[in-house]
Amino acid sequence: MIATVLFIALLVLLLVSVPIGICLGLATMIVMVFVDGTPPLVLLARSVVTGADSFPLIAVPLFVLAGDLMQHGGMSRRLVAFANALIGHIRGGLAYVNVLACVFFAAISGSSPATVAAIGSNLIPEMEKVGYSRRFSGALTASSGMIGVMIPPSIPFIIYGVTAEVSIGKLFLAGVIPGLMFAVMYMAIGRFLLRKETAVIEATKEFSSASMAETFRKSFWALLVPIIILGGIYSGIFTPTEAGAVAVLYAAVVGLFVYGDIGLRDLPGILAQSALTSGTILILVIMATAFGRLVTLAQIPADLANWLTHLSDNPILILLLINLLLLIIGMFMETISSIIIMTPILLPVAAAIGVDPIVFGVILTVNLAIGFCTPPLGVNLFVASGISGVSIERLSIAILPFFAGMLVLLMMVTYIPALSLFLPSLW
């Protein structure tokens, strides 16, 4: 009864366009008020307070602010220039530059749509000038942008770490190898799609060591960001949360005094934009804490685990069903919301079949990251469409080859745990 009322209330509220954070809180309150045998309403207030009282959660607004400062501070433009000087001379090089620049920016932003916006606004027009179609450039950028939530620091990994109570540092490490595998896959598919593009091949420039040295010098301060953040975390100098504060300070100093792309008058706007993004995420998190506790008290995760294990005792099939469910959810729900709602429901199921919580965090994040690239809610598609001027429908078709590669790597991440656990095992 509790589960039925809870999810019907949530679905109705979503259908009438109530913000997802408010949906979670209202659905929880409706069940507590109108369904017998539920905890008293005071549990909602307590859960909201305890959900907000989390030191690791402070990392979210800090990394959001750091990403906004880096984007406005000219780091993305300099990273694109360095990537172009490094591998732009290879045939079809701007496609490789696009992916490599997304990897670089992912390592300083932690956000997929921000990666698409920062890299796409710089590269899509440049790619068109030398013969790349806007459909191809938009699809490649939208796909590569999903690396933004896999390469550390990753905001979805932080949310999952807080929700599942697992090490955020180990999650960061677990995403490195899968993230790099996705990057290589995008480069390979891009090269295959460009094999007959004569204009692109003829536009390939010559390698210049002087240009590489110059762009490296200009992007040096941006390239230091992942070294400082990740080096500090894994050397024990500071925690992931403290790393967020370091990233904010570093981004502000570089943007204001080294690159000079940010002025003091720009700071209020950047802070307001970051506060809006962070506030949305944090409301989701604290409301989902109460929702998750009610879900647990209603024994929904245990019932789901029993149902799946009775359906089949084969872990391979159960993981396949979980992946299918998450892919569908990723098409219709925002990533942070999905992580918060689905972690307390699916993690016990995964644990029951022997899946490591760190591995499941990567599986969950990869599934939902694919949702950034799939309609109708694919945020990366909307950002890339806005930059390229290509319709969502045409981009959705152009992205299909990359989507096929995503599914192949998703299966590898799901069924080869060593891909996610190798680096955390060394820490």
pLDDT in tens, 32-73: 887 776 667 777 777 777 767 777 778 878 888 888 888 788
pLDDT at 418: 95
Instruction: Tell me how far apart the alpha carbons of residues 45 and 56 are, in angstroms, rounded to a whole number.
Output: 21
Per DSSP, 153 falls in state S
Contact call for residues 248 and 46 (beta carbons, < 8 A): no
Higher pLDDT, 77 or 221: 221
pLDDT at 357: 95
For residue 421, pLDDT over 90 is answered with yes
Query: How large a percentage of the chain has pLDDT more than 70?
Result: 95
Tokens representing residue 24 in the block: 């979670």
Q: Report which listed range, 34-48, 172-186, 279-293, 388-402, is most confident.
A: 172-186
* Sequential DSSP letters for 2-57: HHHHHHHHHHHHHHTT--HHHHHHHHHHHHHHHSTTSPPTHHHHHHHHHHH--TGG
Q: At a CB cut-off of 8 Å and minimum separation 6, what does 270 contact? A: 65, 68, 69, 72, 262
Mean of pLDDT over the chain: 84
Tally of structural domains, the chain? 1
Among the residue ranges 219-233, 285-299, 362-376, 400-414, the one predicted with the least confidence is: 285-299
Write out the residue range of the structural domain in which residue 188 sits: 2-426
Among the residue ranges 55-64, 200-209, 215-224, the one predicted with the least confidence is: 200-209
Give the pLDDT band (50/70/90) at residue 359. very high
For residue 201, pLDDT over 70 is answered with no
For residue 173, pLDDT over 80 is answered with yes
Give the pLDDT band (50/70/90) at residue 121. confident
Instruction: Tell me how far apart the alpha carbons of residues 344 and 140 are, in angstroms, rounded to a whole number.
Output: 33
Give the pLDDT band (50/70/90) at residue 198. low
pLDDT at 408: 96
Give the pLDDT band (50/70/90) at residue 17. confident
For residue 220, pLDDT over 80 is answered with yes
Instruction: Tell me how far apart the alpha carbons of residues 236 and 261 are, in angstroms, rounded to a whole number.
Output: 32
For residue 362, pLDDT over 90 is answered with yes
Instruction: Tell me how far apart the alpha carbons of residues 186 and 389 are, in angstroms, rounded to a whole number.
Output: 22
Among the residue ranges 29-38, 137-146, 390-399, the one predicted with the least confidence is: 29-38
Instruction: Tell me how far apart the alpha carbons of residues 195 and 198 are, in angstroms, rounded to a whole number.
Output: 8
* Confidence (pTM): 0.81
Residue 360's nearest CA partner among 201, 97, 224, 156 is: 156
Per-residue CA distances from 103 to 71, 162, 220, 249, 366 (Å): 14, 25, 16, 22, 15
pLDDT at 295: 74
Tell me the mean pLDDT in the region 324-333: 82
pLDDT at 82: 87
- Note the pLDDT tens digit of each residue in 271-328: 998 888 788 777 777 777 777 777 777 777 667 767 777 777 788 998 999 998 888 8
pLDDT at 143: 93
pLDDT at 409: 96
Give the pLDDT band (50/70/90) at residue 336. confident
Instruction: Tell me how far apart the alpha carbons of residues 339 and 15 are, in angstroms, rounded to a whole number.
Output: 20
Contact call for residues 413 and 420 (beta carbons, < 8 A): yes
Residues constituting the chain: 427
